[in-house]
Amino acid sequence: MESRVISSPISRSGWAEIAMGIGGFGIGTGEFVIMGLLPNVAEQMHVSVPEAGYSISAYAVGVVVGAPLISVFGARWPRHLLLTVLMSWFALGNLASAWATDFVWLTVFRFLTGMPHGAYFGVASLVAASLVAPEQRGQAVGRMMLGLTIATVLGVPLATWLGQSWGWRSAFTFVALIGAAAASAIWSTVPRRPADRNATPLRELGALRKPQVLLTLGIGSVGFGGLFCVFSYITPTMVQVAGLPESWMPAVLALFGIGMISGNLLGSQLADRALMLTIGGALIWNIVVIGLFSFSAHYLWLALLNILLIGHGVALVPALQIRLMDVADDAQTLAAALNHSAFNIANALGAWLGGVVITAGYGWAATGWVGAVMALVGMAIFLISAALKKQPPLDSNESTTILSVSSATAASLE
């Protein structure tokens, strides 16, 4: 009886999701831990803290560059093999970062480490969706992405503590060990399925000719940037505007992470029930809660509640991932991977625009209304996408009020 339970399809898919989730946990930890260790890196590498921040930018650029390149040329690989290679690549990149002899090499290694990021999550999302019934794809993708959100609550604080206690190199070594464990688990649990022999670089690049793919990527690149606009400057805002002691900031970041975990799970469940409504609803949610931050930041307890609610905006991530799968047709690998390139563009764009208004003298809390405008632009792109689709932006039998508004938008564009 025991052997039959272990070998059942449900058990195999569950273990595969856990293995891929461990990989996401490692990537999330490795991406964000350096933000808390920049002073340590700067001191040992003999650069300023802003210069040390270039290593963060290098990782983000690696994600944006690596996702399309790897997806196009790896489309014909068996997915279990591609995932194992990508996670091994990530582990080696972190190990190399830990042993970098100077800042130039550290920046190069951070770029190389970021390259497999987008392709990993894109391919893992496709694998997770393929292991369940079509009406459960969103939940499967959400469970796989759970490792990334849990990293913000557990992995990043733990790795930061290691880096502060034993030197920043120990943090990257820790992440490398997680990556190695994930690669082993993925190789052992992800089902062996034949590669798509019809896949070609040209076919994958065909995704970029599809308007709905580009519009969906635009929603993520702009509409999700508002969250990063606020999050990038959350520490000075909470300390200087809300009056929170800086020593409490780890708890604030954990609160934000809890919101992300909850939002990821909620968004993935809603995406299976009403995909377009979930995307539109998540964008409206972001417009409201991010915009409120410009007000709530002046009141400590309201600000803390608002931060938790802003974290729930991550509900947009699994919904957009499923949307890309639906509109990419036979160019699935590239489209799925580009979703995470879009989110890294959102990260950079949100942080940059937030810095612009702060530098202009509008204050730390101004990131709230800037972020709300970004989410509003994302909503406009969503409505354009729905109009070009020649149907309302919601599934049938959904909200009549929003249905009529969307139909009117489509009619005006025609």
At residue 195, φ and ψ (nearest 5 deg) are: -70, 155
DSSP one-letter code for 361: T
Whether 300 has a pLDDT exceeding 80, the answer reads yes
Residue 404 has pLDDT above 80, yes or no: no
Query: pLDDT digit string (tens) for 327-373?
Result: 877 667 777 778 888 888 888 788 888 888 888 889 889 999 999 99
At residue 2, does pLDDT exceed 60?
no
Report residue 199's pLDDT band, with 50, 70 and 90 as the boundaries: low
pLDDT tier, 4 (very low <50, low <70, confident <90, very high otherwise):
very low
What own/partner pairs with CB < 8 Å and gap ≥ 24 does 216-219 have? 216/320, 216/323, 216/324, 216/327, 216/385, 217/324, 217/338, 217/339, 217/341, 217/342, 218/342, 218/378, 218/381, 219/279, 219/283, 219/316, 219/320, 219/378, 219/381, 219/382, 219/385
Q: Is the pLDDT of residue 397 over 70?
A: no
- Residue with the bigger pLDDT between 377 and 394: it is 377
pLDDT value of residue 297:
95
**Is the model more confident about 410 or about 290?**
290
All CATH 1.20.1250.20 domain ranges in the chain, comma separated = 1-197, 200-414
- Which tokens belong to 387? 């109009």
pTM: 0.76
Average pLDDT over residues 166-173: 92
Query: What integer best gives the mean pLDDT of the chain?
Result: 83
Asked if pLDDT for residue 182 goes beyond 60, the answer is: yes
pLDDT at position 50 is 66
Q: What percent of the chain has pLDDT over 90?
A: 37
What is the predicted pLDDT for the residue at 160?
Answer: 82
- In DSSP notation, 171-217 reads HHHHHHHHHHHHHHHHHHHS------TT--HHHHHGGGG-HHHHHHH
Residue 386 has pLDDT above 50, yes or no: yes
Is 375 a residue whose pLDDT tops 60?
A: yes
Considering the domain delimited by 1-197, tell me its CATH architecture: Up-down Bundle (1.20)
- Return the pLDDT at 195: 61
Q: How high is the pLDDT of residue 9?
A: 45
Token pair belonging to 329: 């047709």
Residue-level pLDDT at 201? 59
Q: Which residues contact 22 (CB under 8 A, 6 or more apart)?
A: 147, 178, 181, 182, 185
The SS3 call for residue 161 is: helix
Mean pLDDT over 146-171 rounds to 87
Find, among 77, 53, 348, 25, the residue nearest to 182 by Cα. 25
Per-residue pLDDT tens digits for 245-278:
877 877 888 898 899 999 999 998 998 888 899 9
* pLDDT for res 308: 95
Mean pLDDT to the nearest integer, 29-44? 81
Burial of 411 (0-12, 13-18, 19+ CB in 10 A): exposed
Note the pLDDT tens digit of each residue in 208-247. Answer: 678 888 999 999 999 998 998 888 788 888 888 999 887 7
CATH fold for the domain made of 200-414: Growth Hormone; Chain: A; (1.20.1250)
Could you give the count of Cα atoms lying within 13 Å of 195 in the half-sphere of its Cβ?
15
| Residue 401 in this model has a pLDDT that exceeds 50 | no
Return d(Cα 315, Cα 326) in angstroms, integer. Answer: 18
Query: Among 82-86, 119-123, 304-308, whose mean pLDDT is lowest?
Result: 119-123
**8 Å CB contact between 17 and 131:** yes
**More confident of the two residues 194 and 181:** 181
Percent of the chain with pLDDT over 70: 86
Q: Above 60 in pLDDT, residue 6?
A: no
Contact 151, 254 (CB under 8 A): no
* Mean pLDDT, residues 38-66: 81
Q: What are the φ/ψ torsions at residue 102 (nearest 5 degrees)? A: -150, 175
Residue 183's pLDDT is: 96
**Per-residue confidence (pLDDT) for residue 97, from 0 to 100:** 94
Which range, of 36-40, 209-213, 294-298, averages the lowest pLDDT? Answer: 36-40
- Say which residue, 353 or 8, is predicted with more confidence: 353
* pLDDT tops 90 at residue 184: yes
Q: What pLDDT was estimated at residue 84?
A: 95
Could you tell me which residue, 5 or 215, shows the higher pLDDT?
215
pLDDT at 120 over 70: yes
What pLDDT is attached to residue 81?
A: 92
And the tokens for 259? Answer: 């919101």
